[in-house]
Amino acid sequence: MDNTLIGFALSLFIAIVVMLALGYQWWMRRHSAAARRFDRRLRAVSEASWQDDGGAGSIVKDRAFSRSPFVAALLKRMPRIDALDRLLMQSGLRWNVSTFTTITLLPPLALWLLGKLLGVPDLMLSAACAGWLALPFWHVQRRRARRLARIEMQLPEAADMISRALRAGHSFSSALDMAGAELSDPLGAEFRTTFDEINYGASMHDALKNLAERAPLPDLRYLVIAVLIQRESGGNLAEILGNVAHIIRERMKLVGQVRVLSAEGRLSGIILALLPFALSGAMYLVNPGFLKPLRNDPAGPWIVGYALLLMALGLLWMRRIVRIHI
């Protein structure tokens, strides 16, 4: 079959899937019943007896795995589903577990069926489906890493802002609200969420614990622990937060110096990883018959697999050497 027709069919299929996903997200945002659910949640909390049973309940609403109760019940039976939901929450994406599962599994299935109808080779079809299966998780991990990096860069300024507000006579919750209003996202949004949880009745301990879970950064945990210890033992919170901001800045400066010093090792690893493939491509262009014994000989695939395994082990070892945790 003509490769142009196959490419057009695949492009059309991907465009249709993307349009359907965007339309679904738009419809769910525009026609959401968030206000009614919020009213029902407040009514349920006000009528419940969680105040009398030692605080077993919580006013903070749990994240739903799906908008469908039946699908949510099925997803709860999957292993490590809470870890996946926590990963989606930390990435800042407006996805739940059901959306992630649909985006991960539905396009490869449709692509496989379409490829079978068009007569695409099985090897190419399997590679395309495997690549798509890893793509949503890679996207979530990348968004999470970028979001946490932005939060880490904003932390010293946020600690200084809260410290100045405390010195001016504001309470900690009021200082948290001011920081959430002044700071840009994503840290500003996290502070606003924490302030809303406190206003809606959650304890300071639970609200700060939720903040540390949404942004699992060591520096943010230091700030949360400092606030919680000060609330238990007393002390000058403004001075404590100023010291925490200074420590965070010094740590970030040291991390930058380490990255500069280890840049040579990371660059060497990238060059060593790409060099065998670049040389093989150059040899094939210069003399196509030079690599034929490696492909035609029965021992050739084993030699290539052994070489790739050794390369992977060497790259992992180099990564452990140049990756210094501070």
The encoded tokens of residue 268 equal 């060497």
In this prediction, residue 147 carries a pLDDT of: 94
pLDDT in tens, 173-205: 899 999 999 998 899 999 999 999 898 888 888
Q: State mean pLDDT over 209-232.
A: 90
Give pTM, 2 decimals: 0.68
In this prediction, residue 292 carries a pLDDT of: 81
> How would residue 167 be classed by pLDDT, with cut points 50, 70 and 90?
very high
In this prediction, residue 110 carries a pLDDT of: 87
Cβ neighbours around 46 below 10 Å, total: 10
Q: State mean pLDDT over 222-244.
A: 89
Question: Rounded CA gap, 176 and 165, in Å?
Answer: 9
The encoded tokens of residue 241 equal 């937060």
> How would residue 53 be classed by pLDDT, with cut points 50, 70 and 90?
very low
Q: To the nearest 10°, report the CA torsion of 117, 123, 126, 132.
A: -100
pLDDT in tens, 98-150: 899 999 998 888 888 888 888 877 777 888 888 888 899 999 999 999 999 99
Classified as helix, coil or strand, 51 is: coil
Answer yes or no: are the C-beta atoms of 95 and 88 closer than 8 Å: yes
Residue 77: φ, ψ to 5°: -80, -10
Question: Rounded CA gap, 69 and 71, in Å?
Answer: 6
In this prediction, residue 56 carries a pLDDT of: 45
The encoded tokens of residue 183 equal 């700071």
Q: By 3-state DSSP, what share of the chain in percent is helix, strand and coil, each rounded to 5?
A: 80, 0, 20
Dihedral sign (CA 153, 156, 160, 162): positive
Answer yes or no: are the C-beta atoms of 217 and 152 closer than 8 Å: yes
Residue 154 has pLDDT above 90, yes or no: yes
Residue 46 has pLDDT above 60, yes or no: no
> How would residue 95 be classed by pLDDT, with cut points 50, 70 and 90?
confident
C-alpha to C-alpha distances, 186 to 89, 138, 164, 252, nearest whole angstrom: 12, 20, 21, 19
